[in-house]
Amino acid sequence: MSLTVTSTGRPMRFSDTLERLGSHGGEKLFLGEIVEVFGERAFGAVMLLFAIVNMLPWPPGGTTLTGAPLLFLSAELAWGRNTLWLPHWLGRASVGRETFRKMSGRLMKLIRFSEALSRPRLYFMTGRLGQALIGLACLILSAILVLPVFGGNLIPAVAIGFFSLGIMQRDGLAVLLGWITTAITVAVLVFAWKLVVAGFQLGFDWFGQVL
């Protein structure tokens, strides 16, 4: 029986598949293994995994590494690929299975809660055009994630998480929440940029007065 199929022939829940990935196999869990296990759901599943990782508190520069794979995945989604393809070097990226098990275990309540609320609906939001637009949005959000800004990873990661859940569950409402969170991300960036510009302007004005 497939790792992602139940005895009734239905796809196994994302949370259950994570638990099995953490308990089956060798000491290391490879990214290529995750892609193979999730099959046609790989785009949403793998992006959701990286989104969850990027929601964790990281020191400045930490999300540069954890957000970089999302750039690659988002570009493929925006390009319109139906299946996720990984280069060999990225497919061989790995994490200790015990580490994966502990990390996913801490987030399991949140994952199961999201699963309980999500279901297939508003299909036009996850169609071919919808997924291409999602890919473009996630590409921009991923670019923001890789910037070494302390605390700047949470909102973009949440947006990508909503998008990923929507793709995986064919849930247009989750995608809509992703677009709303993306708009919030843009608004926060614009506000932060204006603060930075205003701060530099005040500094220059003060320096001019001193001279």
> Has residue 1 been placed in a domain?
no
> Has residue 110 been placed in a domain?
yes
> Has residue 6 been placed in a domain?
no
pTM score over 0.95:
no
Residues spanned by the domain of 46: 14-210
> Has residue 82 been placed in a domain?
yes
Q: For a pLDDT cut of 90, what percent of the chain falls above it? A: 18
Please, which pLDDT band fits residue 60 given cuts at 50, 70 and 90? low
> Has residue 5 been placed in a domain?
no
pLDDT at 7: 45
- Quick check: 150 pLDDT over 70? no
Counted domains in the chain: 1
8 Å CB contact between 67 and 139: no
> Has residue 168 been placed in a domain?
yes
Please provide residue 43's backbone torsions phi and psi, each rounded to the nearest 5 degrees. Answer: -55, -60
Per-residue pLDDT tens over the stretch 155-181: 898 999 999 999 988 899 999 999 999
Alpha-carbon gap, residue 52 to 159, rounded angstroms: 11
Please, which pLDDT band fits residue 62 given cuts at 50, 70 and 90? low
> Has residue 9 been placed in a domain?
no
